[in-house]
Structure 1
Amino acid sequence: MAEATSTGRFSLDLHDPQAALALSGPAEANLRQIQALTGASCVLRGLELVVNGRPAQIERAAAVVELVRPLWSEGQDVTEVDLRTALTALDTGRRDDHAGMNRQVLARSQRGTLLRPRTLRQKAYVEAMQEHDLTFAVGPAGTGKTFLATVLAVRMLNDRAVERLILTRPAVEAGERLGFLPGDLQQKVDPYLRPLYDALHSLMGAEKTTALLEKGVIEVAPLAYMRGRTLSHAFVILDEAQNTTSAQMRMVLTRLGEGSRMVVTGDVTQVDLPPGQTSGLVEAASVLDGVDGVAVCRLTSADVVRHPLVQRVVDAYAARDRSRAGMGRSAPVSRRSLPG
């Protein structure tokens, strides 16, 4: 139970050691973060959280703690992103949206982690995938574009809303040099598809993933395998789509068959195509924005849910690119990408 006093002090009984650990974070890093965000001092005394400061500071800190209650009360890790998202929802009058985000549990990972959107834009992205047959997710590395799509795809497969999952991406980095790599074609392209395997393993485990791959229920293949096919009753994820050409993007979008859904993800700042060649993702997101049945979701560095340093890296490169553009020089378009 929360208790506020007239002496500039607020206390909250956390009841459970796991809840206290989840809220405070490693070495109480979350409590320091709450203090940095709100100005209120946060101290954990046993299972009691004590907040001190000016009344306005205490009110903000208490509200942030309450907004992330669905996480720490279940012993789920609270991160810096969760705290910043809660404060943004508080400051922009979007408490109800934040509460809906916390209720939007999509699945439970093999490690027992509840998988849900962690930012308000991620929440909008998940809702777009649920409501549209074709969704584009454009944003920097670490914003959960591919992972959230894979989580929803697995959920729809388990609910029998689709009959199979098809995950594909271009192998642009290898280009015409695939023939020089050892092994058959599948072995040659596997390194480029590894992030998709990793997402499946975290959701279903390696053994079940392998069994479904062998049965053809899940197909992980390079983009070239999609030509000439009709993808019916499937959940299709096209990853790293910034590396598709205009022709490749048109080809894969027109593969969509009856009872299917497609999610196209990519980071338009990390294009590996030859200089001067237009990214199919950039073109499609522009041409199809506003078309009935199509959603275009744009995530930002604020939605990065990896290590906090990733957000700062993304922001630093974005600032550099804006500076170069301001000086009349074009920003580089060929950079090796971290899968999103």
Structure 2
Amino acid sequence: MKPDEDRRSRLQTQPAAEGSAEIVIAFEDNRLATLLFGQHDQHLAFVERRLGVEATARGNHVALRGPRDSIEQAKRALESLYQRLKGGQAISLGDVDGALRMGAAQGVLFSAENGPRPTGGAATVGTRKKTIAARTPAQDSYIRALQRHELVFATGPAGTGKTYLAVAHAASLIEKGEADRLILSRPAVEAGERLGFLPGDMREKVDPYLRPLYDALYDMMPPERVERGLTSGMIEIAPLAFMRGRTLANSIVLLDEAQNCTSMQMKMFLTRLGEGSRMIITGDPTQIDLPPGQKSGLIEAVDLLQDIPEIAICRFSSGDVVRHELVAKIVRAYEAKSQTTP
């Protein structure tokens, strides 16, 4: 097989029913092709469900049959995932879903005459432990905004990757030496149990509120590196109330669940930004746990600051949910209810 065929894989167009087509893609490495197709071809089955095509694996070949646009989208997604495997990255069903979404956003039409077209690269963020590629156009814009702006807001429903990508970006800056400290924070809004009645010292009291940040951090960095960072102060995880009076220089600062900040807390947090620092603020405006009548500082800040060009505001929707397929359906159901409720 020629080098260009290895790079892009081989494409054959065969006769098919009117309005549809069949293509056969051959991948050079049998082992990687097996990983690409998934255990019991589950990745190909996912492609079939999503795009309404037929995908049949034979050795290191896969035959795709269906509407021309759909099989072109499937081909581009499979080739993109194969390149990731060649680069030493693992892929999951979530990655297959992401590749299909990105392929649909690129809107490249099938063209047998011109042959395979180069696959557009999704934005990525990488640490020593793993590299994460954008799975939706909104994630792609978000990663690029994180790379270009010192202050980024990300709003939208749960499961869209707001916090996960923010922690990944923060960890990458620490590893590259572009920031001296990583500070992760959340407002400790009480949801049924008061902090004073929880057992343990202050750290043990607030840890449950910050556990999602710990989980994301351990997913990005080796556990021993995280523990050393926590011990030395290079990584700090603290509730929002502990930020008052501080100036955070040469740091990457992430405020998660920011919809539960009051207006005064948000103003206080934003004014902590020091020289050489970057801030990322994430939250879901539909899940506010503040007392009735209390305005969310996140909603107010996005409204007040949206016209400042140095500040990026990224908005996610239910269509950007990258967790289990049911999560997106659940989010849409709640959104529909909120729109019909007076």
CA contact (8 A) 1:86 1:98 kept: no
CA contact (8 A) 1:163 1:233 kept: yes
Deviation at 1:20, TM superposition (A): 2.5
**Structure-1-length-normalised TM-score:** 0.86
Q: How many residues align?
A: 320
1:291 is aligned to: 308
Deviation at 1:72, TM superposition (A): 4.7
7, 12, 17: which one pairs with 2:15? 7
**Structure 1 residues 180, 53: CA separation in 2 closer, same or farther (over 3 Å shift)?**
closer
1:213 is aligned to: 230
Q: Structure 1 residues 225-234 or 284-293, which shifts more?
A: 284-293
Deviation at 1:285, TM superposition (A): 0.8
What 5-or-longer segments of structure 1 have no aligned partner? 329-340
For each residue in 1:278-308, what CA deviation from the matched residue of structure 2 results, as whole angstroms up to 9, or x when unmatched? Answer: 1110110111002132111001122222222
> Distance between the aligned counterparts of 1:97 and 1:16, measured in 2?
20
1:338 is aligned to: none
2:122 is aligned to: 101
> Distance between the aligned counterparts of 1:55 and 1:307, measured in 2?
28
1:27 is aligned to: 40
CA contact (8 A) 1:151 1:203 kept: yes
Confirm whether residue 88 of structure 1 aligns to residue 104 of structure 2: yes
1:172 is aligned to: 189
Q: Structure 1 residues 3-12 or 273-282, which shifts more?
A: 3-12
Letter in 2 for 1:185: M
CA contact (8 A) 1:302 1:311 kept: yes
How do 1:154-173 and structure 2 match up within 5 A? 154-173=171-190
**Structure-2-length-normalised TM-score:** 0.85
Give SS of 1:277's match. coil
CA contact (8 A) 2:157 2:331 kept: yes
Q: Identical aligned pairs, as a percentage? A: 44
Q: Structure 1 residues 3-12 or 38-47, which shifts more?
A: 3-12
CA contact (8 A) 1:229 1:255 kept: yes
**Structure 1 residues 312, 55: CA separation in 2 closer, same or farther (over 3 Å shift)?**
closer
**Structure 1 residues 315, 152: CA separation in 2 closer, same or farther (over 3 Å shift)?**
same
> Distance between the aligned counterparts of 2:69 and 2:310, measured in 1?
45
> Distance between the aligned counterparts of 2:149 and 2:309, measured in 1?
9
Give SS of 1:262's match. strand
217, 221, 230: which one pairs with 1:200? 217
Letter in 1 for 2:104: T
1:40 is aligned to: 53
How do 1:44-193 and structure 2 match up within 5 A? 44-53=57-66, 55=68, 57-74=70-87, 76-79=90-93, 80-91=96-107, 99-101=120-122, 104-109=124-129, 113-173=130-190, 177-193=194-210
**Structure 1 residues 105, 153: CA separation in 2 closer, same or farther (over 3 Å shift)?**
closer
Name the Cα RMSD after superposition: 2.5
Letter in 2 for 1:2: R
